[in-house]
Structure formats: structure tokens, C-alpha cells
Amino acid sequence: MHLYKSTKLAIAFVVGVLTLQLACRKYQDDTTNPDDEWRSGGEQTVFDQGSGAFGHAFNGLPAYLARVHEVGDVQFNATFVSAPAPLNPGLGPVFNNVSCSSCHVNDGRGKIPGRGESAANMLFRVSLPGVGEHGSPLPVPGYGDQIQNRALLNYQPEADVAIGYTNESFAFGDGTSYELRRPTYTITNPYRPLPQGVLLSPRVAAPIFGLGLLEAISDVDILAREDPSDLDGDGISGRANWVWNIDEQRTTLGRFGWKANQPSLLQQTAAAYFADIGIANRLFSDTDGVLEITDSLLYAVDFYLRTLAVPGRRNVGAATVQQGKALFLSLGCSKCHIPDQRTAVTTAFPQTSYQLIHPYTDLLLHDMGEGLADNRPDFLADGNEWRTAPLWGIGLTQKVNGHTNFLHDGRARNLQEAILWHGGEAEAAKDRFRTLGKPDRDAVIAFLESL
């Protein structure tokens, strides 16, 4: 009797539990997804879908570290002016922009200039054929490895670049046509003649959140995915870039930049301060050796970048999104845009330790075909190779940056065009996408927009 009663009671409890679970299913739909994929940045995921979605600090930083993040944030936004000045001196004399955040607006993706506008928020790498010091691109005398297209008063900008586009028509498998715009770049008003055969490669500012997590993936895990001779015969190779690491004075794995030509966030940051803004620092300085940013501020900016959290996904449970994810896997996109990565264990910085993250990148170089090629080698990356771009947060680009221009030079006007520009190792996957019916294509886009 007693047993019977308690069983009945237990059943009542279970029913109650189920009812309650159902009752709150709608609210918690995304957050109960069994494979956790809504949390793109693992523990370091934030749930903001607004214009500030890329700008949040890691969760649960202790107060003293949160303060370092804030100091770095202020410095990231600091506008530099010509020296001498009471605040932020050292700009230029030639430069690309006046602060980090003027290109990485809202910690996001740079906007490309419209037709006829000057190339703000975009920069142009230049080099000569051949190899420079430590395997780097060969600098152009008088220009270095990028064109600084702005200058202080009474100085001359190195040059400007005119951007043009030619439209080309293609067709989906179902016969619907589509257009892609192919960019052309012309250097104008060079301050001194450019040598013949200069290699030019455009770059838009990349989003900067989640980089600390990408930095926390171990070299071993990245290298394990390398397949330079395509031994598994899937048509996809994947190579690591090996680049000069100034602090370590040796060649180490390249991780950051469109061609994975920077080994660490610190070096990437220091290089950008020096070349883009003209701020000499510990790693990069003029021959006079005068530093324009202190080491501690440089490290604070590095820390700021390392501790920007990743926005969580939206609508993970929606049917079209699920369908799009399945297609993303079956088309072969996920062979390079690796969904799941696990960061290395670190006791030094537990915030990034052993996190299951969903960056959708392998951080390796792939031949992306002639269409996207910049034909400008950068360390081991050849003229056709680009690093697999992380896709996390990509669906928030419109909200955060007010545009949907993708790829290294922003030529794609939306996600679908970005897919359709893929070639080389991604040609087969692109073609499978191209021959999908419209509902399936839309589902893939819906999936990308949920990232």
C-alpha cells in the first residue's frame, strides 16, 4: 500500500516535472540544445544580439583582470594625434588610420569604401616578388609592406588606391543567374615611382572577438589537421604557415591575419600599431628607437583582444537552421570550417582553458583558387592561399557593422556571394552549393546567419 502510494506520488512528480519542462521549453529552446552548439565561445559566450555583440569581456574575470581589459579597451579606442601632444601623441607621419577602433569598428569587420571613395578602413599590402628577411614578403623600397594612404598636414600620403568592380554573370544549377563583382585596384598618386611588378593585396579589418580562444588552441591540434599532400584524397590539403616570431627569435606557427602571417596577438597588435597608425613600440620601431606606446599599454591592448567573448548563436533549434547545418556538413564546408575545437589546458589563464568552442575554422591555409588569389606570397602562404576564416558571429555583421561585405577584400556583398567566390580546394563544395535548389541554399544561409 505504502509502496503503491509512493509510486503514484512519484509518477505525479514525474508528470509534474515533464509538464514544467514543456512549459519552459520555448524560453530555453536554444539553451538546452544537447550538443551545446549555441555556446560558440564555450564558457566565454555572451548573449547580446545588438550592435555591441562583439565588444563584451570574458565572463567572470576577476576585478583586477577586468580592469586590465578596460584599460586595453580605452587604449583600443584612443585616437592618436601628431606629436608633441598631451594625449596620445605619435600619429604618422604617414598612416592608415588614427585608432584601432576606427578600422575595427565595434570590434567588428571593416566597411569597404564605396565606388570612388578613398580606401578608408581598408589597407593594401605591397611587396616585390622574392623573399625578405626571415622568409617575410620582400618590402618595396620607400613603401615597406603596405601603403599608408593618409598623412599628417604637410606630409604626403604614400599613395591612394582606386577601387573598381566588374560584374560577372553565373548561374545556379536550377538556371537562376547571379552576379559576382570582381574588384580591380589601381594605385594612384604614388609619392615616388613604384617599381615594376609590385604585388598588391587588399585587406579589410577583421573582427577581433574570440581571438584569445583561437590563440589557446594548441599547435599540435592545428597541425594534426594538416594534409599538405592530400594523403586522404579528399581534394583538401590544409597547410600551416610558419612565420617569424620576434619575441622568440625563431619561426613559429602563424595563426592570425588573412594569410596566417602573425604568430601571436601581441605581434599582430604591435605590427598594426606601427604600420597602420605609426606608433613605435617594443616590437616594431623606427631606427631612432623612440617608443610611442608603453609596454604596459601594449600588453593591455593585447589582453583586451584576448578577452573579448564570442556572441552566442540564435535560432539554433529552427528547422531551416538545422537543415542548413546538415547541408553545411554534407557539402563539405566543414572540412575546413571546422565546427568544434577544444582549447588547450592552461593553468596560467583558466578562462581559456579546455573550452569546447565553435569557431568554424581550422586556422590552416588553403588554395582558394584563381578567383580569390592575391598572387602575393606571405611567408609560406602562396598567392592562392588564404587562412580559413572563422565563421562564428558572422550572422551579426549587419547588426554590429551595418554592412555584409565579406572576404579579405570585402568583395562579397552577402554571405551567398562569399560562398560562391570559393574556388581551388573549395571548388567542389562550392559547386555542390551552387547546384542546390533555392530552399536548400536559403537554409545554408539561414544556418550561417545563426552563427
Partner 1 sequence: MKTKAITFSCLLATVLFITLSCSKDDDGNDGTDDIALQEEILAQVATNVCEDSYIDMHAKAVALNEAITTLNGTTTDANLAAAQAAWRDIRTTWERTESWLFGPIDADEIDPRIDTWPVDFNDLDGILANGDELTEAYIDGLEESLKGFHPIEYLLWGENGNKTAAQFTDREKAYLSALGENLTKLSADVKDTWQNGYTQELANAGRGSSEFATRQEAFLQLVDAMAGICDEVANAKIKEPFDAADPTLEESPFAKNSFTDFKNNITGILLMYQGKFNTDGKGLEDLVRTHNLSLDAEIKANHAAAIAALDAFNVPFGEAITTRQSDIQNAMDKINALATTLEGKLNPFVLQYVR
| Residue list 373-412, contact with partner 1 (CB under 8 A) | 399, 401-403
Indicate whether 307 belongs to the interface with partner 1 (CB under 8 A): no
Please state, in angstroms and rounded to a whole number, the distance separating the CA atoms of residues 104 and 352: 23
Peptide bond into 390 cis (omega under 30): no
Indicate whether 70 belongs to the interface with partner 1 (CB under 8 A): yes
Among 82, 136, 252, 353, binds partner 1 (CB under 8 A): 82
Shortest spacing between CB 17 and partner 1, in angstroms: 6
3-state SS class at 156: coil
- Number of residues binding to partner 1, judged by CB under 8 A: 45
Applying CB under 8 A, which part among 68-76, 123-131, 213-221, 345-353 lies near partner 1?
68-76
The site string for partner 1 over 12-31 (x = CB under 8 A, - otherwise) reads -xx-xx--xx-xx-xxx---
DSSP-H helix ranges across 104-218: 211-215
Shortest spacing between CB 210 and partner 1, in angstroms: 19
| Residue list 223-262, contact with partner 1 (CB under 8 A) | none
Please state, in angstroms and rounded to a whole number, the distance separating the CA atoms of residues 277 and 131: 25
| Residue list 93-112, contact with partner 1 (CB under 8 A) | 98, 102, 105-106, 111
Among 4, 62, 64, 86, binds partner 1 (CB under 8 A): 86
Shortest spacing between CB 407 and partner 1, in angstroms: 20
Q: How many CA atoms lie within 13 A of 389 on its CB side?
A: 21
Peptide bond into 311 cis (omega under 30): no
Indicate whether 150 belongs to the interface with partner 1 (CB under 8 A): yes
**What would the DSSP string read from start to end of 97-124?**
-SSHHHHSGGGSPPPPPPTTS--TTEEE
Cell numbers standing for residue 238: 590544409
Please state, in angstroms and rounded to a whole number, the distance separating the CA atoms of residues 416 and 418: 5
Please state, in angstroms and rounded to a whole number, the distance separating the CA atoms of residues 409 and 122: 8
Instruction: Give kind and range of the element (H or E) at residue 14.
Output: helix 2-23
What lies within 8 Å, CB to CB, of 19 at 6+ separation is none
User: How many CB atoms are closer than 10 A to CB 91?
Assistant: 23
Based on CB atoms, which residue is closest to partner 1, 21 or 375?
A: 21
Among 61, 65, 81, 162, binds partner 1 (CB under 8 A): 81
Based on CB atoms, which residue is closest to partner 1, 27 or 64?
A: 27
Please state, in angstroms and rounded to a whole number, the distance separating the CA atoms of residues 449 and 451: 5
Indicate whether 130 belongs to the interface with partner 1 (CB under 8 A): no
174 CB burial (10 A radius; 0-12, 13-18, 19+): exposed
Shortest spacing between CB 103 and partner 1, in angstroms: 11
Classify residue 367 by its DSSP letter.
E
Based on CB atoms, which residue is closest to partner 1, 277 or 280?
A: 277
Among 61, 65, 83, 356, binds partner 1 (CB under 8 A): 83
Indicate whether 85 belongs to the interface with partner 1 (CB under 8 A): yes
Indicate whether 51 belongs to the interface with partner 1 (CB under 8 A): yes
- In the complex, the residues that contact partner 1 under the rule CB under 8 A are 6, 9-10, 13-14, 16-17, 20-21, 23-24, 26-28, 48-52, 70, 73-74, 79, 81-88, 91, 98, 102, 105-106, 111, 150, 152-154, 399, 401-403
